[in-house]
Amino acid sequence: MTKVPGIGKVLIANRGEIAVRVARTLRRLEITCAALTHPDDTGNPAAAFVDEACPVEGESAISAYLDIDQIVSIAKRIGADAVHPGYGFLAENADFAEAVERAGIRWVGPAPETIRLMGDKIESRRFAAAHGIPVTPAASEEDDPASFSERAKEIGFPLLIKAAAGGGGKGMQIVRHPHELSHAIDLARSEAKRYFDDDRIFAERYLDEPRHVEVQIMADEHGHVVHLGERDCSIQRRFQKLIEESPAPAIEEDLRERIRAQAVLLARAAGYRNAGTVEFIVAPDGESCFLEMNTRLQVEHPVTEMVTGIDLVEEQIRVAAGHPLSSGQDEIRFEGAAIECRICAEDPERDFQPAVGRILLLRPAKGPGIRFDGGIAEGQDVTAAFDPMLAKLIVHGRDREEAIVLARQALAQTVILGCTTNLAFLERVLAHPDFISGRVETGFIPAHRTDLALPPLAEEERAALLSVAALTDRDFMASVEAVPEPYASMGDWQN
Amino acid sequence: MATEFDLEGLCSSVLPVHGQDALVLSIDGRPFRVGLTPGRATGEVVLEFGEERERVFAVQRGGIHFIHFRGRAHRVEAIDALARARKRAVAESGEESLLAPMPGVVVRVAVEADEEVEAGDLLMVIESMKLQTSIRAPHDGRVAEICLGTGASFEQGATLVRLETRDEDSEAEQAKERER
């Protein structure tokens, strides 16, 4: 008997960092955990970590991890009681959720029809608006394709063109001037088709200097819905989050309470089940608009776990098993501040271009209040096949100031050698006076480009680095042994 | 004999000189008294640098030294004389191979072989780690060869497009080539 009655074995339909993270909780709950593997996916630490590694066949690892029929038949074959999708891959695929449930296996997530409703960014906006939650002015192409660009212009500039099936910043274009509109529409449509196989797009008002604030909710089958506070995810590059924190800094209390209440209201109205996140855009004047709802665990869920002390994966498994939530709203406490930094294989000095290489040395920071959720191992090759995120560093302090100091120390202590990463860049963001004072918005990184640039090395530092390289270089040291006698007897070098 | 190392795009020469009781390195002509002892952890070394002692992490692969120093990772490349010569030869032949900056897949080929292109023209769009990168002509020229078609995957350093510099000399040579 495991610690969650009804769940003895779970198949994690995922790989890497999130598969390891889910498996860690399952292990603590004494639940047998299985995850997917593919022969090409050599750098997958989950394969060795879980109790059962389940090979999936497919031309590429990615196509294998997206193979619904095969994954469902694996779940049946190994006798899984539930499937946890993690995030990415099939996590927001309603057909997959449906296939899992049809096979008589519990789906760790909301009902397929809820995934479908929230997955359609146009439908979900209408749903939110119908329940009295403000949304940004928008126009959908499919309402009347012929007048789409006219209707988009009426919204006013700047505006965003987005994919209806979108997410992760893909298929998204900012349009600042009317003459850019038709090009942006074409581009967004082709990206939407490419990434989501669905070319429906819509236009939405773009608020300048917006903050991205989201609310974590959790719901069970017994009508309980709670929020677990909000996260600020404004520090982004290419519309993708880089640093997240909880609670959101420097916002009015009534705004905090309002979006928390709206998130619970939306989840209740949708008959939501399991973990979900309601995303809002917050304008500088404190106005907030519903953006979208993500029907899965989020990458940044650990900051919520750290301030509430609640293991969200455990709650997800309990809810999937049909048990009620472990805490009511009044029992949920928020303590201190937590910050998550996404460590990515990319070069901030070259416009965040993805980097590749072999992880030759890995020494994560350790200590009280520090959590390192990694998907990498020493000797692993970082390739172009998967997302550039290598690991997440999460810290928890008594207050935000302490969390920032701790995060900066932990970033500096984390050693990853062999592949270019954004570790030092993240540290510079945290050290920026505007970040420290909570003046964050989604354009923070481009706006502070100069301040965040790599500082030049001091001459002494340069010499020290060159010394280390020379003294550990076999060829160089061989030449030291072979220094001709005149030099050797010259004594101290004189300039 | 001095050895050259590249750090942040700048080349430095490092020359070993024995001191009486320590090793002295001449770095770009300035002397530094240095020493290195193994640290406690894997990859850890203790650098003695003048009067200072600092814990550093250093590993290497294929002539590239990866060094974690004062909370930041650095990359120092030992410059191999042969590789430099090869680069120069490519520069002199008037033909340039555009190499893949990282492994990935060809999303789109924007030009055809033999097409004349100007600096900045889009040649190819590649995708790595879900991000698209445009490969553009670094200078005016003629597309000598498109080495990979749409959908082809490649490793880092693979030749994507070969571009010929457009100048009279090379055109004359090509004419000769064709005659042969």
- Indicate whether A436 and A479 sit together in one domain: no
Of A358, A415, A483, nearest to B16 by CB-CB distance is A483
Tell me the residues of chain A between 186 and 225 that have a Cβ less than 8 Å away from chain B. Answer: none
Cross-chain Cβ contact B25/A470 below 8 Å: yes
Contact A384 B128 (CB under 8 A): yes
- Residues B168 and B112 placed together within one structural domain of the fold: yes
Which structure tokens are listed for B62?
A: 């294929």
- Which of B78, B105, B129 represents a domain boundary (last residue)? B78
Residue type for position A254: D
Total CB pairs under 8 A between chain A and B:
180
- Of A276, A272, A292, the residue nearest A228 (C-alpha): A276
pLDDT value at residue A488: 43
Q: Number of structural domains, chain B?
A: 2
A36 CA to centre of own chain: 20
Identify the three-state secondary structure at position A372: strand
Q: At what angle do helices A121-130 and A253-269 cross, to 10 degrees?
A: 110
Domain assignment of residue B138, yes or no? yes
Residues A389 and A426 in one domain: yes
Residue B87 belongs to some domain of the structure: no
A12: which strand partners? A35, A84
Are A420 and A189 spatial neighbours (Cβ–Cβ below 8 Å)?
A: no
Domain final position from A205, A231, A264:
A205
In a domain, B165, yes or no: yes
Top residue of A66, A380, A465 to mutate, by most chain B CBs within 10 Å, is A465
Q: What's the number of domains chain A is made of?
A: 4
Shared domain check, A463 and A446: no
With CA atoms as reference, report the closest residue to A62 among A387, A462, A449.
A387
Asked whether residue A200 falls in the same domain as residue A215, the answer is: no
Distance (Å) of CA B71 to CA A27, A104, A349, A420, B54: 34, 51, 17, 14, 12
- Give the sign of the dihedral formed by CA B113, CA B119, CA B124, CA B129: positive
Exposure on the CB side of residue B154, measured as CA atoms within 13 A: 23
A377 touches chain B (CB under 8 A): no
Residues 6+ apart with CB under 8 A from A49: A19, A20, A23, A35
Question: Is residue B154 assigned to a domain?
Answer: yes
**C-alpha of A446 from chain center:** 20
In a domain, B85, yes or no: no
The residues, any chain, with a CB within 8 Å of residue A176's CB and separated by 6 or more, are: A157, A158
CATH number at B122 reads 2.40.50.100
Which of A88, A108, A128 finishes a domain? A108
Do B115 and B155 have their domain in common?
A: yes
Range of the domain at A200: 137-205
B101 and B33, same domain (yes or no): no
The token pair at A386 is 């998967």
Interface of B with A in 39-78 (CB under 8 A): 41-43, 45, 47, 49, 54, 56-61, 65-76, 78
Q: In a 3-state reduction of DSSP, which class is residue A424? A: helix
Q: Are residues B58 and B19 in the same domain?
A: yes
Mutation target among B10, B18, B52, B55 for the A interface, most CBs of A within 10 A: B18
Verify that A262 and A384 share a domain, yes or no.
Answer: yes
Residue B84 domain-assigned (yes or no): no
Mutate to test the interface with A, among B65, B126, B129 (most CBs of A within 10 A): B129
**Distance between CA atoms of residues B88 and B81, nearest Å:** 11
* Nearest beta carbon to residue B65 from set A238, A463, A472: A472
Residue from A296, A342, A371, A428 carrying the catalytic annotation = A296
Residues A393 and A300 in one domain: yes
Whether the predicted pLDDT of B73 surpasses 60: yes
**B52 shares a domain with B115:** no
Q: Is A479 in Cβ contact with B3 (below 8 Å)?
A: yes
Beta strands in chain B (DSSP E): 3-7, 10-18, 23-27, 30-38, 44-49, 52-61, 64-69, 72-78, 95-99, 104-109, 116-117, 122-128, 131-136, 141-146, 153-154, 159-165
State the burial class of residue A118 (Cβ atoms within 10 Å of its Cβ: 0-12, 13-18, 19+): buried
Query: What does the pLDDT profile of chain A (495 residues) look like in tens digits?
Result: 899 999 999 999 999 999 999 999 999 999 999 999 999 888 888 999 999 999 999 999 989 999 999 999 999 999 999 999 999 999 999 999 999 999 999 999 999 999 999 999 999 999 999 999 999 989 999 999 999 999 999 999 999 999 888 776 777 888 999 999 998 898 888 888 888 888 899 999 988 889 999 999 999 999 999 999 999 999 999 889 999 999 999 999 999 999 999 999 999 999 999 999 999 999 999 999 999 999 999 999 999 999 999 999 999 999 999 999 999 999 999 999 999 999 999 999 989 989 989 999 999 999 999 999 998 899 988 887 778 899 999 999 999 999 999 999 999 999 999 999 999 999 999 999 999 999 999 999 999 999 999 999 999 999 999 999 999 998 888 877 765 444 443 433 333
Task: Note whether residue A123 is domain-resident.
Answer: no
Task: Tell which wins on pLDDT, A250 or B62.
Answer: A250
Domain boundaries, position B152: 94-179
Cα A60 to Cα B107: distance, rounded to the nearest angstrom: 17
**pLDDT tier at B81 (50, 70, 90 boundaries)?**
low
Residue A451 touches partner B, C-beta closer than 8 Å: no
Q: Do residues A310 and A413 share a domain? A: yes
| Co-location of B73 and B120 in the same domain | no
- Asked whether residue B41 is domain-assigned, the answer is yes
Between helix A112-119 and helix A94-102 the angle, nearest 10°, is 180
> How far A179 CA sits from the closest chain B CA (Å)?
22
Phi, psi (rounded to 5 degrees) for A481: -60, -30
Q: What are phi and psi of A315, to 5 degrees?
A: -60, -40
Measured between CB atoms, does A495 come within 8 Å of chain B? yes
**Cβ within 8 Å, pair A457-B31:** no
| Closest Cα in chain A, distance from residue B49 (Å) | 7
Whether residue A465 sits in one domain with residue A433:
no
Q: Please judge whether B24 and A487 are an interchain contact, meaning their C-beta atoms are less than 8 angstroms apart.
A: no
CATH number, position A148 = 3.30.1490.20
Q: CATH number, domain at A417?
A: 3.30.470.20
Best residue in B6, B10, B17, B40 to probe A by mutation, most A CBs within 10 Å? B17
| A345, A353, A383 ranked by CB distance to B103: nearest | A383
Tell me the whole-structure pTM to 2 decimals.
0.84
**Domain end position, chosen among A155, A183, A205:** A205
Cα of first residue to Cα of last residue in chain B, in angstroms, is 46
Measured between beta carbons, the chain A residues lying within 8 angstroms of B24 are 492-493
The B residues from 101 to 120 touching A (CB cutoff 8 Å) are 101-105
Contacts of B128 in chain A (CB under 8 A): 354, 356, 384
Kindly state whether residues A251 and A332 are assigned to the same domain: yes
Looking at the structure, tell me whether residues A188 and A221 fall in a common domain. Answer: no
> What separation in angstroms does the CA of A163 have from each of A89, A187, A189, A225, A390?
18, 11, 7, 29, 27
DSSP result, A65-92: HT-HHHHHHHHHHTT-SEEE--SSTTTT
Domain endpoint, select from B27, B47, B78: B78
In terms of domains, do A262 and A144 share one?
no
Q: Of B78, B109, B126, which residue is a domain's last?
A: B78
Specify whether B74 is located in the same domain as B106: no
**Is residue B89, in this structure, part of any structural domain at all?**
no
A296 noted as active-site residue: yes
Q: Is there a single domain that holds both residue A266 and residue A365?
A: yes
Whether A35 maps to a domain, the answer reads yes
Is there a domain that residue A494 lies in?
Answer: no
What per-residue confidence (pLDDT) applies to B126?
Answer: 85
Contact A469 B58 (CB under 8 A): yes
